Amino acid sequence: MIASLFVLSLAAAPAAAAPSSAPGAEQAAELLRAAKKAHEQGREPEEVALLQKAVALGSPRAEFWMGVLYERGHGVAKDQKKALTWFFRAANAGDALAEGRLGFLFYTGRGVPLDYARSREWFEKSVQGKDVPKDRLAASWANLGNIYFWGRGTPKNQKTARDCYRRAADLGSAYAQNNLGYFFEHGIGGARDEAQAVDWYRKAAEQGLASAQSNVGVMIEQGRGTKPDLLAAAGWYRKAARQGSAQAQYHLGRAYELGHGVDKDLVQACAWYELAAEHGAAPARESLARLQTVLTPAQAAQAKQIAAEQSNSNGKGDRHD
């Protein structure tokens, strides 16, 4: 299954205002920079006052960040309706960050009626904008990829989805890189190319995305698009398994059961199968049941202890496989 995830999240600090020849544009940009500094130093009242001054000078980017403040309840009382008012004001004035935020809100139905068609329209405006930080631009492209892949608010178009993911992946989105790897692996929306799939999975994996770590492990273990390397595959499985990836936990259990890239250890195998089964990996249940018939009671208890300790130490990770 493709690992798709909405990647829009509001950046913590304001970006600089878009260049403009309008009167007061330079002063508004300076106010935004000062508001960013106030934010970083935790001076909320000053941050709000500076943004209000920039708004008075006609800065759409300041209007966007006022929306963020109301959405988060940062320096002002939390109020989603006021946040939306600011987002619409900024978006209608052409601010790409506000356009992207509205795209996300209409996609999720957060504070507005769920409307995939309007979501797509706002995302498409956002990716054409100027003065957009790379991560925000990547987020809009990735979400457009989701829309075209699933056919939400528009007919399914796998080629367009692939193109959108490619744009987001080139901008550094780990989620898009992982999805693009999936497209290359399975020949979705274009030619199948397992070597390219490995490359994109690896880029996402190196950014710490658990689903990509598991995916690149599978490719390396099976020697698809690259030379087989059981040791490297087990290493990727371990990284993802420790983040809570059920797929990786199953593959790591299998590696321990077969001695692929690690010393054969049925207790460890049982522990990882148990974790994978708890997280919904159906094949792990069968493997777990099989091993439980050959372990001694002491070994079975040890496996449960290892699984419990690992479960308690897991970070939140990403569970999208």
| pLDDT higher than 60, residue 17 | no
Over residues 101-127, the mean pLDDT reads 96
Over residues 7-35, the mean pLDDT reads 61
| pLDDT higher than 50, residue 164 | yes
pLDDT of residue 321: 37
Query: What is the tens place of the pLDDT at every residue in 20-33?
Result: 445 688 999 999 99
pLDDT of residue 8: 32
pLDDT of residue 311: 86
Is the torsion defined by CA of 129, 40, 8, 199 positive or negative? positive
Over residues 201-228, the mean pLDDT reads 98
| pLDDT higher than 60, residue 319 | no
pLDDT of residue 24: 81
pLDDT of residue 19: 41
Judge whether 216 and 239 are in contact, CB under 8 Å: no
Over residues 280-286, the mean pLDDT reads 93
| pLDDT higher than 70, residue 320 | no
Please report, rounded to a whole number, the percentage of residues in the chain having pLDDT higher than 90: 88
Residue 131: pLDDT band by 50, 70, 90 thresholds? Answer: confident
| pLDDT higher than 90, residue 254 | yes
Residue 196: pLDDT band by 50, 70, 90 thresholds? Answer: very high
Judge whether 316 and 209 are in contact, CB under 8 Å: no
pLDDT of residue 291: 94
Over residues 300-315, the mean pLDDT reads 88
pLDDT of residue 18: 40
Question: Greatest CA separation found in the chain?
Answer: 80
pLDDT of residue 23: 61
Over residues 296-314, the mean pLDDT reads 92
State the first-to-last Cα distance of the chain, in angstroms, to the nearest integer.
6
Query: What is the tens place of the pLDDT at every residue in 73-104?
Result: 999 999 999 999 999 999 999 999 999 999 99
The CA distance from 88 to 275, in Å, is 45
pLDDT of residue 7: 34
pLDDT of residue 312: 85
Average pLDDT, the chain: 91
pTM of the predicted structure, to 2 decimals: 0.86
The CA distance from 206 to 270, in Å, is 28
Task: Please provide residue 27's backbone torsions phi and psi, each rounded to the nearest 5 degrees.
Answer: -65, -40
Q: 210-214, 245-249, 310-314 — which is least confidently predicted?
A: 310-314
pLDDT of residue 9: 31
Over residues 54-74, the mean pLDDT reads 97
| pLDDT higher than 80, residue 5 | no
